[in-house]
């Protein structure tokens, strides 16, 4: 929304306050003025003049010699002019030689085809206030001559820019009158809306019956006002009107169209003028569009309509898409002589849907979708009539005002206790100030017991003001919030710290970032069909986005793998190895017909090594397994078992990790619940994501870890003060027997007498049968009650040996 400083000044009287002051006042009390733009600058010295004589140029057919009187008894100026429309008697804009014009042109004394020219008669573009170069600007005949044109045209102005989103709740601020009323209240000066005496008198005197209006679609149309005006000569608008419209960002068309727009900018009420010649049935019908119906809007487009659209019809035939755009075959033209002026009020939601569906956001639809005041319809119609009669005195209002008003808003009264404002703002506001502020904004105020009964004015009552809190805001913003003090809230002291899940996330994140050297990244929660194919999980239902930004981000992720591999791929050029982690959520669609999907909070990690093309030992994978073990230990969580993964999903609702290397997967579990899945990316998947070498992936289910959390207080075990005996044992086992199984067997041989069982060597080679490995473990033997004697030590060693051999394993060495 653009606002003219000059126009506001005309409406309310700004008392000489600068545009910057007004910007500040509006920004801190009404709505942010984002920018102030000065327009029509650099016209100093360009004055009005009268063309007293026009003669042919002796040396050129298309040029003429004009004599210009610039008043004040000065010498007449001789000017060479090429414009076709220049004529004797016109009042024009004269720029004397030596001036610099707003378009950058410096006027030098020129000799044109042998004739000296003392200056220039200006066209619009030369004065920087329009684009037209088709002819010189012709001012009204009664314009005084010898005065600065900047003043005459009203061209010098400041335009305030207000973001539409900042006034979306205020239908009344979509016209200058609304802002003028605000300024009246803020600057403490009287605001009177523009009067319409000519229109009122003409409508009173009109003898013809009002134009018939039938509203069938009362939901879509609250009110429809129609006025017939005849005997009009349509014409280009006078320059001052044109400049005002253009400065505010609207294109000038002709007087009739320009006046509808001017009234809209003034009152906020959109208007539409039909050429009466093209209304054949003699009645206006407002109805829903029929299925399959079409109409051609005045931009020449054939529009397909749906029953949600509100149509203005000439009898049966659609002539306007209500609240959005008029029809092509009934719009006013240069030769229009009679109009039916429409000033209506349409349902905000319906207009918004139609405009959105057709991608046709117009000045009118933008206003109607804010819930305009239906009372403004009649005001707007009368204002248009007034202005038309001022510009075209011979125009005739022949019929009374047609007004179908099926759905007025009921009056809205609010009971405002005097103390509420002070309590809500935390700032003392007196009863007098409350009364004055509301009154200045047009609210009706009547005193009741301990407060006020406030009647909301029609222009605030369509959706904007609906409860007493809204009134508190009115009073607060008229006062301004600079004087609100800082007051600490007071309340009971209660312990606050992050909830358990957040604390767990913080602890584990710290292990990853600080202890283990992972860099934290963040990825979108989306991926696309290509990822699903690459990962091999196309049989799993994803939660899809109906209008994704790109097809490659059209669904919610069910694994962090794709985005982490993409991250890795971005970095492999510069980083031979790298480690990243992120905290994110995996989304499984809901199971029933309603409710929300399941979100699984995970910590996910990727590690890569571009040099590890032939990684027979699986060092990268094992490193990540070890890191996950470290992370889980820090949770802290005890009793975790690790097993070969065999394509196990993190969660039954999530896909099995088809993207992992079939021989390199590990699953961390506690009491049958899966805590984490770790694996190397299958070589084909790494290639698909363009990662040379190897990459490994991990996902840790935070909720599962939280459920399995150990008791921090149970960690202390008294220090064993007696000597222990170290013991090493090497066992030959089948190749795929997990080390953890052997380790557990050793530890289990005598749980109280054996501790710190740790693998220190894996050997395959001479002396070991094919398909077998030798695993060497170290441990400590002890007697929990005292010093371990030789007899007891021997007994434990024998026990270990027999336990291992019972498994069918060969004990290679044990001493």
Nearer to other proteins, 493 or 652 (CB): 493
Tracing tokens 């057919």 back to the chain, one arrives at: 61
Residue among 761, 773, 758, 762 at smallest CA distance from 726: 758
Q: Does 540 bind other proteins (CB under 8 A)?
A: no
Nearer to other proteins, 384 or 608 (CB): 608
Contact with other proteins (CB under 8 A): which of 17, 283, 317, 424?
A: 424
Compute how many residues bind other proteins; rule: CB under 8 A. 91
Nearer to other proteins, 269 or 521 (CB): 521
Q: Does 423 bind other proteins (CB under 8 A)?
A: yes
Q: Does 410 bind other proteins (CB under 8 A)?
A: no
Distance CA(43)–CA(125), nearest Å, equals 12
Residue among 139, 152, 142 at smallest CA distance from 40: 152
Instruction: State which of positions 197-256 bind other proteins (CB under 8 A).
Output: none
Tracing tokens 């571009």 back to the chain, one arrives at: 610
Q: How far is the CB of 614 from other proteins (least distance, A)?
A: 24
Contact with other proteins (CB under 8 A): which of 597, 618, 683, 814?
A: 597
Nearer to other proteins, 97 or 575 (CB): 575
Q: How far is the CB of 810 from other proteins (least distance, A)?
A: 38
- Residue pair 315/286 in contact (Cβ under 8 Å)? The answer is no
Select the span of 12-20, 393-401, 542-550, 707-715 touching other proteins (CB under 8 A): 542-550
Contact with other proteins (CB under 8 A): which of 234, 336, 462, 571?
A: 571
Q: CA-CA distances (angstroms) from residue 183 to 229, 323, 623?
A: 34, 29, 70
Contact with other proteins (CB under 8 A): which of 353, 391, 436, 772?
A: 353
Q: CA-CA distances (angstroms) from residue 548 to 344, 356, 529, 735?
A: 38, 18, 12, 49
Instruction: State which of positions 487-506 bind other proteins (CB under 8 A).
Output: 487-489, 491-494, 496-499, 502, 506
Distance CA(622)–CA(396), nearest Å, equals 93
Instruction: State which of positions 511-530 bind other proteins (CB under 8 A).
Output: 512-525
Q: What token pair was written down for 98?
A: 């030596």
- Residue pair 133/125 in contact (Cβ under 8 Å)? The answer is yes
Q: What token pair was written down for 677?
A: 């899945």
Q: How far is the CB of 498 from other proteins (least distance, A)?
A: 5
Per-residue H/E/C for 449-492: CCEEEEECCHHHCCCCCCCHHHHHHHHHHHHCCCCCCCCCCCCC
Helix (H, G, I), strand (E, B) or coil at 36: strand
Nearer to other proteins, 27 or 810 (CB): 27
Select the span of 15-23, 256-264, 585-593, 744-752 touching other proteins (CB under 8 A): 585-593
Q: How far is the CB of 520 from other proteins (least distance, A)?
A: 4
Q: Does 570 bind other proteins (CB under 8 A)?
A: yes
Q: Does 590 bind other proteins (CB under 8 A)?
A: yes
Q: Does 116 bind other proteins (CB under 8 A)?
A: no
Q: How far is the CB of 466 from other proteins (least distance, A)?
A: 9
Residue among 720, 801, 805 at smallest CA distance from 793: 801
Nearer to other proteins, 178 or 239 (CB): 178
Q: How far is the CB of 363 from other proteins (least distance, A)?
A: 16
Nearer to other proteins, 111 or 490 (CB): 490
H or E element, residue 700 = strand 694-701
Cis peptide bond prior to 236, omega within 30° of 0: no
Contact with other proteins (CB under 8 A): which of 73, 485, 639, 767?
A: 485
Q: CA-CA distances (angstroms) from residue 508 to 409, 621, 702?
A: 59, 19, 9
Helix (H, G, I), strand (E, B) or coil at 547: coil
Instruction: State which of positions 259-288 bind other proteins (CB under 8 A).
Output: none
H or E element, residue 383 = helix 375-391
Alpha helices in 269-313 (DSSP H): none
Contact with other proteins (CB under 8 A): which of 142, 486, 711, 770?
A: 486
Q: Does 481 bind other proteins (CB under 8 A)?
A: yes
Contact with other proteins (CB under 8 A): which of 509, 528, 618, 738?
A: 509
Q: How far is the CB of 691 from other proteins (least distance, A)?
A: 13
Helix (H, G, I), strand (E, B) or coil at 501: helix
- Residue pair 679/649 in contact (Cβ under 8 Å)? The answer is no
Nearer to other proteins, 497 or 721 (CB): 497
Count of alpha carbons within 13 Å of 790, Cβ hemisphere only? 0
Q: How far is the CB of 527 from other proteins (least distance, A)?
A: 13
Q: How far is the CB of 405 from other proteins (least distance, A)?
A: 23
Nearer to other proteins, 381 or 478 (CB): 478
Residue among 181, 161, 165, 176 at smallest CA distance from 370: 165
Instruction: State which of positions 146-185 bind other proteins (CB under 8 A).
Output: 166-170
Contact with other proteins (CB under 8 A): which of 317, 455, 576, 585?
A: 585
* Residues in contact with 115: Cβ distance below 8 Å, sequence separation at least 6, in sequence order: 57, 58, 59, 65, 78, 80
Nearer to other proteins, 106 or 547 (CB): 547
Nearer to other proteins, 345 or 583 (CB): 583
x-or-dash pattern for other proteins, window 456-475, by CB under 8 A? Answer: -----------x-xx-xx--
Contact with other proteins (CB under 8 A): which of 195, 356, 446, 741?
A: 356
Contact with other proteins (CB under 8 A): which of 19, 239, 374, 476?
A: 476
Distance CA(203)–CA(187), nearest Å, equals 35
Q: Does 591 bind other proteins (CB under 8 A)?
A: no
Q: Does 543 bind other proteins (CB under 8 A)?
A: yes
* Residues in contact with 629: Cβ distance below 8 Å, sequence separation at least 6, in sequence order: 640, 642, 668
Per-residue H/E/C for 302-351: EEECCCCCEEEEECCEEEEECCCEEEHHHECCCCCCCEEEEEEEECHHHH
Nearer to other proteins, 381 or 565 (CB): 565
Select the span of 263-271, 578-586, 654-662, 672-680 touching other proteins (CB under 8 A): 578-586
Instruction: State which of positions 773-792 bind other proteins (CB under 8 A).
Output: none
Q: How far is the CB of 497 from other proteins (least distance, A)?
A: 6
Contact with other proteins (CB under 8 A): which of 17, 32, 65, 634?
A: 32
Q: Does 567 bind other proteins (CB under 8 A)?
A: yes
Distance CA(407)–CA(221), nearest Å, equals 8
Alpha helices in 123-233 (DSSP H): 149-153, 176-187, 197-205
Q: How far is the CB of 71 from other proteins (least distance, A)?
A: 48
Count of alpha carbons within 13 Å of 594, Cβ hemisphere only? 0
Select the span of 185-193, 325-333, 510-518, 795-803 touching other proteins (CB under 8 A): 510-518
User: Residue 380 CB: number of other CB atoms within 10 A?
Assistant: 27
Nearer to other proteins, 348 or 381 (CB): 348
Nearer to other proteins, 76 or 509 (CB): 509
Distance CA(502)–CA(243), nearest Å, equals 61
- Residue pair 745/757 in contact (Cβ under 8 Å)? The answer is no
Dihedral angle computed from the Cα positions of residues 62, 63, 69 and 74, in that order, rounded to the nearest 10 degrees: 180
Q: Does 1 bind other proteins (CB under 8 A)?
A: no
Q: How far is the CB of 519 from other proteins (least distance, A)?
A: 5
Nearer to other proteins, 506 or 795 (CB): 506
Tracing tokens 């209506």 back to the chain, one arrives at: 344
Instruction: State which of positions 605-634 bind other proteins (CB under 8 A).
Output: none
Per-residue H/E/C for 727-785: EEEEEEEECCCCHHHHHHHHHHHCCCCEEEEEEEEEECCCCCCCCEEEEEEEEEECECC
Q: How far is the CB of 589 from other proteins (least distance, A)?
A: 7
């Amino acid at each position: 929304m653009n606002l003219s400083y000059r126009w506001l000044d005309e409406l309310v009287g700004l008392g000489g306050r600068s545009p910057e002051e007004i910007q500040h006042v509006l920004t801190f009390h009404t709505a942010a003025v984002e920018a102030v733009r000065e327009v029509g600058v650099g016209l100093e010295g360009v004055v009005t003049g009268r063309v007293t004589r026009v003669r042919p140029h002796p040396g050129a057919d298309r040029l003429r010699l004009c004599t210009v009187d610039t008043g004040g008894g000065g010498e007449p100026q001789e000017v060479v002019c090429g414009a076709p429309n220049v004529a004797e008697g016109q009042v024009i804009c004269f720029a004397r030689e030596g001036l610099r014009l707003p378009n950058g042109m410096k006027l030098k004394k020129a000799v044109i085809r042998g004739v000296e020219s003392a200056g220039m008669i200006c066209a619009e573009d030369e004065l920087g206030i329009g684009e037209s170069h088709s002819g010189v600007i012709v001012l009204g005949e009664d314009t005084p001559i010898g005065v600065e044109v900047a003043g005459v045209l009203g061209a010098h102005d400041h335009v305030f820019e207000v973001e539409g989103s900042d006034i979306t709740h205020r239908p009344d601020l979509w016209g200058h009158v609304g802002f003028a009323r605000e300024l009246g209240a803020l600057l403490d000066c009287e605001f009177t809306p523009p009067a319409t005496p000519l229109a009122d008198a003409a409508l009173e005197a009109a003898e013809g019956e009002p134009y018939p209006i039938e509203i069938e679609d009362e939901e879509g149309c609250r009110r429809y006002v129609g006025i017939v005006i005849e005997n009009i000569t349509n014409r280009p608008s006078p320059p001052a009107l044109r400049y005002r419209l253009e400065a505010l960002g609207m294109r000038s068309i002709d007087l009739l169209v320009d006046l509808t727009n001017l009234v809209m900018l003034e009152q906020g009420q959109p208007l539409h003028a039909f050429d009466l010649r093209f209304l054949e049935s003699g009645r206006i019908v407002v109805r829903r569009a029929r299925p399959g119906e079409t109409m051609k809007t005045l931009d020449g487009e054939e529009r397909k309509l749906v029953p949600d659209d509100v149509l203005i019809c000439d009898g049966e035939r659609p002539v306007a898409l209500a609240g959005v755009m008029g029809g092509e075959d009934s719009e006013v033209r240069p030769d229009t002589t009679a109009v039916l002026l429409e000033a209506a009020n349409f349902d905000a939601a319906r207009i918004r849907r139609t405009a959105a569906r057709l991608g046709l956001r117009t000045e009118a639809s933008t206003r109607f979708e804010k819930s305009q005041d239906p009372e403004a319809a009649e005001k707007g119609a009368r204002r248009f009539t007034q202005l038309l009669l001022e510009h075209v005195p011979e125009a005739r209002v022949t019929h009374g005002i047609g007004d179908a008003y099926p759905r007025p808003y009921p009056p809205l009264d609010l009971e405002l206790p005097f103390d509420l404002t002070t309590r809500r703002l935390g700032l003392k506001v007196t009863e007098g100030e409350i009364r004055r502020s509301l009154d200045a904004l047009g609210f009706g105020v009547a005193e009741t017991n301990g407060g006020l009964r406030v009647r909301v004015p029609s222009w605030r009552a369509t959706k904007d003001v609906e409860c007493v809190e809204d009134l508190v805001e009115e009073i607060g913003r008229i006062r301004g919030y600079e004087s609100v003090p800082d007051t600490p809230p007071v309340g009971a002291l209660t312990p606050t710290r992050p909830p358990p899940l957040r604390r767990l996330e913080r602890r584990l994140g710290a292990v990853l970032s600080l202890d283990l050297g992972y860099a934290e990244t963040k990825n979108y929660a989306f991926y696309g069909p290509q990822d699903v194919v690459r990962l091999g999980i196309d049989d799993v239902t994803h939660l899809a986005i109906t209008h994704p930004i790109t097809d490659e981000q059209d669904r919610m992720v069910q694994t962090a793998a794709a985005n982490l591999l993409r991250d890795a791929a971005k970095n492999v050029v510069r980083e031979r190895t790298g480690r990243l982690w992120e905290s994110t959520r995996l989304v499984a669609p809901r199971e029933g017909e309603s409710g929300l999907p399941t979100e699984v909070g995970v910590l996910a990690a990727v590690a890569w090594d571009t040099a590890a093309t032939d990684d027979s030992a699986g060092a990268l994978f094992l490193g990540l397994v070890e890191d996950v073990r470290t992370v889980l230990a820090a949770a802290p969580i005890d009793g975790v078992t690790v097993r070969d993964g065999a394509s196990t999903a993190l969660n039954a609702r999530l896909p099995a990790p088809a993207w992992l290397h079939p021989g390199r997967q590990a699953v961390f579990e506690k009491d049958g619940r899966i805590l984490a899945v770790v694996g190397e990316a299958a070589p084909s998947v790494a290639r698909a994501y363009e990662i040379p070498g190897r990459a490994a992936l991990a996902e840790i289910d935070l909720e599962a870890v939280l459920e399995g959390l150990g008791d921090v207080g149970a960690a202390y075990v008294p220090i064993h003060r007696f000597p222990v005996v170290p013991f090493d044992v090497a066992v030959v086992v089948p190749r795929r027997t997990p080390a953890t199984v052997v380790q557990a067997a050793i530890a289990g041989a005598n749980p109280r007498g054996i501790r710190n069982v740790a693998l220190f060597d894996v050997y395959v080679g001479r002396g070991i049968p094919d398909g077998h490995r030798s695993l060497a473990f170290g441990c400590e033997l002890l007697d929990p009650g005292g010093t371990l004697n030789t007899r007891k030590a021997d007994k434990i060693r024998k026990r270990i040996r027999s336990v291992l051999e019972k498994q069918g394993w060969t004990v290679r060495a044990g001493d």
